[in-house]
Amino acid sequence: MRKLLKSIESLNHLSAFEASARLGSFTNAAKEMGVSQPAISQSVRKLEDAIGTKLFHRRHRIITLTDAGEMLYNDVYQGFDRIFATVKYLQSQRRGSHVTLSVSTAFANYWMVPRLQDFHDQHPNIDLRMQTTDKDLDLAQEVISLGVWRGDGNWSGYGCALIAKESLMAVASPAWIENHSPIDTLDTLKDAQLINLEEPYRDRPTWTDFFRHFGAKYQDVGQGLRLNDYALVLQAVMAGQGISLGWEQVTRHLIDVGLLAQVGPWKWDSGKGFYLVWSQNADLSEDAKSVRDWIVKSSIV
């Protein structure tokens, strides 16, 4: 910090620069910071003098970042953003506020929701909030207590607990099975109406991977219904649109209540798993620890 202050004279200069770059105006930056426009302009000028290069192109009532300004702004913005995220996290810890769980929509709908009454019965005073997302987020950066990720359990900077081994099978609605010929060989499965999951950010096994595991060749040439969210895939399956891969930890409840049924005898344990994860760069609140322990205890490992 001492070296930084010696280089730029004052952190206020950085604040004035960040606001001006973000808002594209010294006047708007002055309004946001509650000071005069000349004060902002002077702070930016002093920062430029201290660094020894221009940070803005100045035209009549218009400012744009120079290449050097772009470089500095990216670092300053990210630094301020990380500080803000940490402050929010520490404030939430001090207030003992809600616990956020980041999960896929399918896990939220078909794993968490059937178990929520049990959670509320055991922890009536914990405010648990599920945040559904299509990617695995940086929990500390996003100020999220817990997340559920697929993998091998090795993530730098994260603690984790296995909640389900990855086991896949083919699933369809009972009505679809009743109205179609039996699927008793891999060849008949390949020729059926297969529904495909194509998640944009997460790595997930495909039908090609499934058939390969059982020694069968399958060429995916873009046929069949293709959806980018597993909750949508399961909705399509239950609506009788075809057969999809069924992750057991999500589909087991649907099978037990008769909304889905396994197709054929094949079950693939991939060697991966689904893990409850938390950042090791921030202490979990007591409420978050209780949520973590409840999920692990309720898991199907």
Residues of the chain with pLDDT > 90, as a percent, come to 70
The confidence score (pLDDT) of residue 89 equals: 62
Phi, psi (degrees; rounded to nearest 5) at 142: -90, 5
d(CA 9, CA 13): 8
How does DSSP classify residue 108?
I
Host domain of residue 205: 98-301
3-state secondary structure of 176: helix
Question: Which of these ranges, 44-53, 71-80, 86-95, 278-287, has the smallest mean pLDDT?
Answer: 86-95
85 and 184 housed in the same domain = no
Can you read off the two tokens belonging to residue 164? 């389900």
Model-level pTM? 0.66
Determine the number of helices (DSSP H) and then strands (DSSP E) in the chain.
13, 10
Helices (DSSP H) in the chain: which residue ranges? 2-8, 11-23, 26-33, 37-51, 67-95, 105-107, 116-122, 174-178, 186-190, 207-213, 230-238, 248-256, 286-298
The confidence score (pLDDT) of residue 215 equals: 96
Banded pLDDT at 1 (limits 50, 70, 90) = low
pLDDT tens string 225-254: 999 999 999 999 999 999 999 999 999 999
The residue among 62, 77, 95 that closes a domain is: 95
80 and 131 housed in the same domain = no
Q: Say which CATH number the domain at 15 has.
A: 1.10.10.10
**Residue 20 burial class via C-beta count within 10 angstroms: exposed 0-12, middle 13-18, buried 19 and up:** buried
The residue among 95, 130, 151 that closes a domain is: 95
58 and 142 housed in the same domain = no
70 and 135 housed in the same domain = no
77 and 103 housed in the same domain = no
Residue 129 has pLDDT above 60, yes or no: yes
pLDDT tens string 185-202: 999 999 999 999 998 888
83 and 115 housed in the same domain = no
78 and 107 housed in the same domain = no
User: First and final CA of the chain: distance in angstroms?
Assistant: 48
Left (φ > 0), alpha (ψ -120 to 50) or beta: where does 80 sit? Answer: alpha
Can you read off the two tokens belonging to residue 27? 């006047």
47 and 159 housed in the same domain = no
217 and 160 housed in the same domain = yes
d(CA 268, CA 280): 32
pLDDT tens string 130-170: 999 888 888 888 889 999 999 999 999 999 999 999 999 99
29 and 130 housed in the same domain = no
Per the structure, how many domains does the chain have?
2
50 and 108 housed in the same domain = no
Q: Say which CATH number the domain at 222 has.
A: 3.40.190.290
Residues of the chain with pLDDT > 70, as a percent, come to 93
- Strands in 261-279's sheet, in edge-to-edge order, are 128-132, 99-103, 146-151, 261-279, 158-172, 244-247
Residue 95 has pLDDT above 50, yes or no: no
Residue 7 has pLDDT above 80, yes or no: no
The residue among 65, 95, 125 that closes a domain is: 95
Closest C-alpha among 229, 226, 210, 230 to residue 218: 210
290 and 251 housed in the same domain = yes
